[in-house]
Structure 1
Amino acid sequence: MKWLRNREIRKLLCIMLLITMAAVVITHAFLPIAAVAAGAGCLLLDILFLIFVRRQYRLLSALGDYLRRVNDGEYALELPDNEEGELSILKSEIYKVTVSLNERSEQLKRDKLQLADALSDISHQFKTPLTSMSVMTELLEDSQLDEDRRNEFTAQLQMQLKRLTWLTNALLKISRLDAEAVSFRSTPVPLSRLIDKAIDPIRISMELKEQTVSVQAGEGTLSCDENWTAEALTNILKNCTEHTPAGGELHIFASSNVLFTEIKVRDGGPGIDKADLPYLFERFYKGKNSADNSVGIGLAMAKAIVEAQGGTLGAKNALEGGAEFILRFPKK
């Protein structure tokens, strides 16, 4: 009877016995027969109270054991209870906390695995160009190296440095998006201006490949952060130019209705392999048709930017051929 070890219960039991004895003495002074009935009634109430206390103590003991097991990491435990009362409410709240702890624990495990994978991918992305740069640096130290080869290695070094700079900036931006440290300044932006701003950084590379872009934007506007949204759209366009052959054409369609504003970008490439579609926006994922110098982070960053502003970004194979990316922003 562990519950009798509780000091408060023992004190309460003593008070109840004193009340019982007082009731017997008082009733005996007036009517001896009534004293027997009063004593029996009080004892019955005492017994019923002790049964109730014993039951409640068992439930509290079970809750204590439950919490100890949860503290040991057994989050899969259940605590069913269909009864009413303050103790039942307490059990219900404890169960909710347990479920929440379990979800957080699983999320932490997933985050830990994702962090390990991300670190592995990042180290690989840096290791390849750094190794190449180290080799070219050693070659440049050769005094007998002819001028043409020296210029070639210097140009390759500059290209690798630009790639590392872009990768570093992209990773910093994604980390800020993950930490929700970016303050988006939403203003109405004309769709035509937003698209032109997104195209500007890739105009030269498109001209070198003799690619063209067809834009149908209309007079609508999009309420968004102009700089960040333009960067997201630039990353999508950059992906499209990489998969569109020389002399090909890109198509951009933008429209707005009472529910949402939509921007569609379609390239002139072979389309997206079905096996790549589920993973297209994952960081460092490189599909079967990816370019050799592709990092696999541009689309992931574009999706993070769009979703941080309440929008969605998806991809599919267009009926006309090629890959089609769809940005959709609901009206606020």
Structure 2
Amino acid sequence: MLRNREIQMLVLILCIISFCATALAGIILSYRAAIFILIISIVLNGCSLIFTRWRYREIEKLSGYLRQITSGNYSLDVRDNREGELSILKNEIYKVTVVLSEHSSLLQQDKVKLTNAISDISHQLKTPLTSMMVMAELLSDKKLDEAKRAEFTRNIRVQLERIDWLVSSLLKLSKIDAGTVLFKKDKIFVRELVQKAAESVSIPMDIKQQTLKVSGNESAAFLGDLNWTAEALINILKNCVEHTNEGGNITIGFSENALYTEIAVRDNGKGIPKEDLPYIFQRFYKGKNAGEDSVGIGLAMAYSIITRQHGDIEVESEEGEGTQFRIKFYKHVI
């Protein structure tokens, strides 16, 4: 403790004050008064130094606690419920420790998620890349007939389009997860949103001779980002088209009340097995009824876009009867 410059200055000042008080008492009063003041000064100075030493020991403990925190040990608890600035400091340090512990846990979870995501992406890209490598090698054969050459070229183009879509979707998801996407707060009329989304799935619906029925309150609206919300609705509609048989029906209904604006998308397709329902919004998850070309990223993107705009999405399904997605955009978020 005495190696600290401020303590050295304190001891020096106390000694000077004690010496001056004792000398003045001896000169002005008497020899006995000087002895008495000297004893009192020694006692007071001793108590001050003992108290200062105790505070420095407490500070030293906190320093050791902070060193353990920097080394990654967040299990220590220095909370002190007594009154005083030192107790307040201990409690504040503990609060910071809890926050750092939570951040460390989140970072660890992010690392695991990143590792899993890279593994999933590698798996999704491996199949088309392998297929294209085989077809490219076959195309190098000069004896290959033109029909096969045209077929392989077309297949390579299809695989490249699939990879391009996958990479584009992953970039969009990454931006949403990172919080770099600034969603607008424009007034969106649901009828306009549905029309915009329906245009993107009109061709595959025509190919499968499916019927789209739209009904709802013309004035229904909510605050959000038109383009991003349309992206979410398109992915939901694509899922419905994919899992609905030829000649099937897809219906979109929407309404608005004092609490939220709701969009309900329903098909009469294959339905989703009960064991798959809790996981369909997870990235790269493919249920039992998923198609061969399914990647398992469309519904995950839809979920991220809707929830980031303070919305909610639920799914109800029964095998053989169809599936219904219910999207709600709330008026006020608490």
Instruction: Give the TM-score of the pair, scaled to structure 2.
Output: 0.91
Higher mean C-alpha displacement, 191-200 vs 215-224: 215-224
Corresponding letter in the other structure for 2:153: T
In the other structure, the counterpart of 1:127 is: 126
SS at match of 2:2: helix
SS at match of 1:283: coil
Corresponding letter in the other structure for 1:328: K
Shift of 1:319: 11
Higher mean C-alpha displacement, 223-232 vs 308-317: 308-317
Q: 2:21 aligns with which of 20, 23, 45?
A: 23
SS at match of 2:263: strand
In the other structure, the counterpart of 2:115 is: 116
In the other structure, the counterpart of 1:285 is: 285
In the other structure, the counterpart of 1:8 is: 6
Q: Is the 8 A contact 2:260 2:328 kept in 1?
A: yes
- Alpha-carbon separation, structure 2, partners of 1:316 and 1:42: 83
Match status 1:188 vs 2:187: yes
Corresponding letter in the other structure for 1:172: L
In the other structure, the counterpart of 1:234 is: 234
SS at match of 2:80: coil
**Unaligned runs of at least 5 residues, structure 2:** none
Inter-CA distance 319–142: structure 2 relative to 1 (3 Å threshold):
closer
Higher mean C-alpha displacement, 127-136 vs 306-315: 306-315
Q: Is the 8 A contact 2:261 2:330 kept in 1?
A: yes
Q: How does 1:66-145 map to 2 (within 5 A)?
A: 66-145=65-144
- Alpha-carbon separation, structure 2, partners of 1:222 and 1:82: 49
Corresponding letter in the other structure for 1:191: V
Shift of 1:189: 2.2
Corresponding letter in the other structure for 1:82: N
Shift of 1:316: 3.1
Shift of 1:144: 4.1
Q: Is the 8 A contact 2:272 2:319 kept in 1?
A: no
In the other structure, the counterpart of 1:260 is: 260
Corresponding letter in the other structure for 2:14: M
Shift of 1:221: 1.7
Inter-CA distance 323–76: structure 2 relative to 1 (3 Å threshold):
farther
Corresponding letter in the other structure for 1:248: G
Match status 1:311 vs 2:324: no
Higher mean C-alpha displacement, 304-313 vs 294-303: 304-313
- Alpha-carbon separation, structure 2, partners of 1:270 and 1:161: 29
Instruction: Give the TM-score of the pair, scaled to structure 1.
Output: 0.91
Corresponding letter in the other structure for 1:252: I
Q: Is the 8 A contact 2:25 2:33 kept in 1?
A: yes
Corresponding letter in the other structure for 1:213: L
Inter-CA distance 321–48: structure 2 relative to 1 (3 Å threshold):
farther
SS at match of 1:5: coil
Higher mean C-alpha displacement, 26-35 vs 196-205: 26-35
Question: What per-residue deviation string (whole Å, max 9, x for no partner) do you get for residues 73-132 of structure 1?
Answer: 112222211123222232223222222222222222111111111111112111111111
SS at match of 2:264: strand
- Alpha-carbon separation, structure 2, partners of 1:245 and 1:5: 85
Q: How many percent of aligned residue pairs carry the same amino acid?
A: 49
- Alpha-carbon separation, structure 1, partners of 2:275 and 2:19: 84
Shift of 1:246: 2.2
Q: How does 1:158-307 map to 2 (within 5 A)?
A: 158-219=157-218, 220-307=220-307
- Alpha-carbon separation, structure 1, partners of 2:241 and 2:78: 57
Inter-CA distance 319–278: structure 2 relative to 1 (3 Å threshold):
closer
Q: Is the 8 A contact 2:270 2:319 kept in 1?
A: no
SS at match of 1:162: helix
Shift of 1:195: 0.8
- Alpha-carbon separation, structure 2, partners of 1:70 and 1:238: 50
Shift of 1:8: 1.8
- Alpha-carbon separation, structure 1, partners of 2:107 and 2:189: 41
- Alpha-carbon separation, structure 1, partners of 2:188 and 2:320: 29
Match status 1:54 vs 2:50: no
Corresponding letter in the other structure for 1:285: Y
SS at match of 2:167: helix
SS at match of 1:273: coil
SS at match of 1:4: coil
